[in-house]
Amino acid sequence: MKLIASLSCLLAALFMSMPVGQAQIELVRSNYFPAEFEFKELGAIKSEQTLTDAASLSGIHEGLLFAEVGFDKYARRVYSLRNHGSLSIEVVRLKDARAAYSLLTLLRKADISAGPPGAWFSTSRNSVIFARGDYWVRVQGDSGPEDLSKRVAVSVSNRIGNREPGAPRLITHFPKTGYDPSSVRYYLGPKSYDSYASAIAGRHLKFESNMEVAQARYAIEDMKGLLSIVSFPTSQLAEKYFEDAAGMDSTPSVRSRIYLKRTGPLLGILEGSFDSKMAEKILSSIQFTYAIKWIYDKNSRSNTKTIWGVPMPILGTVVRSLILTALLCGISLFAGFGFAVFRLLLRGYAPHNYLDNPERTEIIRLKIDEN
């Protein structure tokens, strides 16, 4: 019994001595809706719906958009309000943060602002839409206090917890000069592009697989226009589209000017009343650079330690490889030296051994008589 008690104390001591940063505990929730009695304005639950099959999204108004960007789970709950009216909460889990941000830009009815709630949100009247990581949430009511939807949205956002940043990388390529961030639209598929995108020179681009398109309005002095940035899977495909798009401004019905720029797999198309000097100023800041990143296990205990900017696990692997290579070289040199010493000693003590037999080691020489 004393041994068992000692072992129990030892295990408890080891557990208590573990660093807090190494313990990873994630709260798994069945849903992210408000708790009972959390908001006094909310009454009974009128209806509740949960979908996990993309085929079942056909009954949802924006279901096809959810399926296109990468749907994982859809949950909706409708509350009756204490006085009158109702309030609905939709929580959609998608494949990544890009999908959630895309839906936010497409389905919003007002400008986008930085959260909370969420990483980004948009609010209009009694409706709040926000994106947080791979979650897209919409809270909307038909009556009640004006701030109720916002307070409920904050509650849902807190329950979702911290997630990766909401803005995709393509959005960061928008030049700042004359940029209107409230006008951003981000497309990940042909349906969303065909339904919500502004035409470029009176036509729509053919949306290819793994393509991304972002659009935003620009205004500088009395010049206005639309900038579309298209991200292609490869630079070769971007070059092909660049050549095809070069003749867009040849359409007589299009009065605005069109300017193009390609950098790597990105294609920038600026359309509007901008002169060539202002267009060059806007498009020149669109740059694409390749970067190499160290990829390592984020759950590793040593992931916070780096030397010269290189994570310790990777640096340790490189050092061990160098040490192993040096060790193999040393073993090879030592083996060669030992074999040479053995041959010399064998030749001294046993001149007629098999290895030094003249018949075995005889060399054929070619004699040429020059006379």
| Average pLDDT over every residue of 152-180 | 86
Contact present, 116 and 157 (Cβ < 8 Å): yes
| Average pLDDT over every residue of 289-302 | 55
Give the range of the structural domain holding residue 312, as residue numbers without chain letter: 292-371
What are the φ and ψ backbone dihedral angles of 194, each rounded to 5 degrees?
Answer: -65, -30
Taking 60 as the threshold, does the pLDDT of residue 269 lie above it? yes
Contact present, 272 and 258 (Cβ < 8 Å): no
Give me Rg for the CA atoms of the chain: 34
Does residue 11 lie within any of the structural domains? Answer: no
Residue 185 and residue 192: Cα distance in Å, rounded? 10
Q: Which of 68, 371, 356, 39 is nearest to 211 (CA)?
A: 68
Taking 70 as the threshold, does the pLDDT of residue 337 lie above it? yes
- Asked whether residue 276 falls in the same domain as residue 296, the answer is no
Residue 338 and residue 332: Cα distance in Å, rounded? 10
Residue 222: per-residue pLDDT: 87
Query: Which of 121, 138, 160 corresponds to the end of one domain?
Result: 160
Least confident of 8-12, 134-138, 180-184: 8-12
- Asked whether residue 37 falls in the same domain as residue 156, the answer is yes
Residue 297: per-residue pLDDT: 53
Residue 331: per-residue pLDDT: 93
pLDDT band at residue 199 under the 50/70/90 scheme: confident
Residue 329 and residue 332: Cα distance in Å, rounded? 5
Residue 92: per-residue pLDDT: 92
The pLDDT tens digits of the residues spanning 46-62 come to 999 888 888 888 878 88
Least confident of 132-141, 196-205, 318-327: 196-205
Q: How many domains does the chain have?
A: 3
Does residue 25 lie within any of the structural domains? Answer: no
- Spell out the alpha helix ranges (H) of 108-162: 148-160
- Asked whether residue 270 falls in the same domain as residue 191, the answer is yes
Taking 70 as the threshold, does the pLDDT of residue 193 lie above it? yes
The pLDDT tens digits of the residues spanning 26-45 come to 444 567 888 888 888 888 88
**203 membership: H or E segment, kind and range:** none
Residue 209 and residue 221: Cα distance in Å, rounded? 38
- Asked whether residue 200 falls in the same domain as residue 298, the answer is no
| Average pLDDT over every residue of 344-357 | 73
Does residue 277 lie within any of the structural domains? Answer: yes
- Asked whether residue 177 falls in the same domain as residue 146, the answer is no
More confident residue, 362 or 98: 98
3-class DSSP assignment, residue 25: coil
Contact present, 91 and 30 (Cβ < 8 Å): no
| Average pLDDT over every residue of 233-240 | 84
pLDDT band at residue 7 under the 50/70/90 scheme: very low
DSSP letters spanning 225-246? EEEEEEE-SSHHHHHHHHHHHT
Does residue 84 lie within any of the structural domains? Answer: yes
| Average pLDDT over every residue of 263-284 | 88
Does residue 173 lie within any of the structural domains? Answer: yes
- Asked whether residue 260 falls in the same domain as residue 363, the answer is no
Taking 50 as the threshold, does the pLDDT of residue 343 lie above it? yes
Taking 80 as the threshold, does the pLDDT of residue 6 lie above it? no
- Asked whether residue 72 falls in the same domain as residue 37, the answer is yes
- Asked whether residue 155 falls in the same domain as residue 39, the answer is yes
Taking 80 as the threshold, does the pLDDT of residue 12 lie above it? no
Residue 186 and residue 322: Cα distance in Å, rounded? 47
| Average pLDDT over every residue of 304-325 | 74
Residue 262: per-residue pLDDT: 87
Taking 80 as the threshold, does the pLDDT of residue 4 lie above it? no
- Asked whether residue 52 falls in the same domain as residue 149, the answer is yes
- Asked whether residue 43 falls in the same domain as residue 119, the answer is yes
Query: Which of 251, 283, 315 corresponds to the end of one domain?
Result: 283
Residue 63: per-residue pLDDT: 86
Taking 80 as the threshold, does the pLDDT of residue 102 lie above it? yes
pLDDT band at residue 201 under the 50/70/90 scheme: low
| Average pLDDT over every residue of 268-294 | 81
Residue linked to tokens 């398109």: 213
Q: Residue 141 corresponds to which tokens in the numbers above?
A: 């009511």
- Asked whether residue 149 falls in the same domain as residue 67, the answer is yes
Query: Which of 111, 140, 160 corresponds to the end of one domain?
Result: 160
Residue 13: per-residue pLDDT: 46
Mean of pLDDT over the chain? 78
Residues above pLDDT 70, as percent of the chain: 75
Residue 23: per-residue pLDDT: 38
- Asked whether residue 45 falls in the same domain as residue 145, the answer is yes
Does residue 5 lie within any of the structural domains? Answer: no
pLDDT band at residue 329 under the 50/70/90 scheme: very high
Taking 90 as the threshold, does the pLDDT of residue 285 lie above it? no
DSSP state of 41: T
Taking 50 as the threshold, does the pLDDT of residue 252 lie above it? no
Q: Which of 180, 82, 166, 168 is nearest to 117 (CA)?
A: 166
Residue 22: per-residue pLDDT: 39
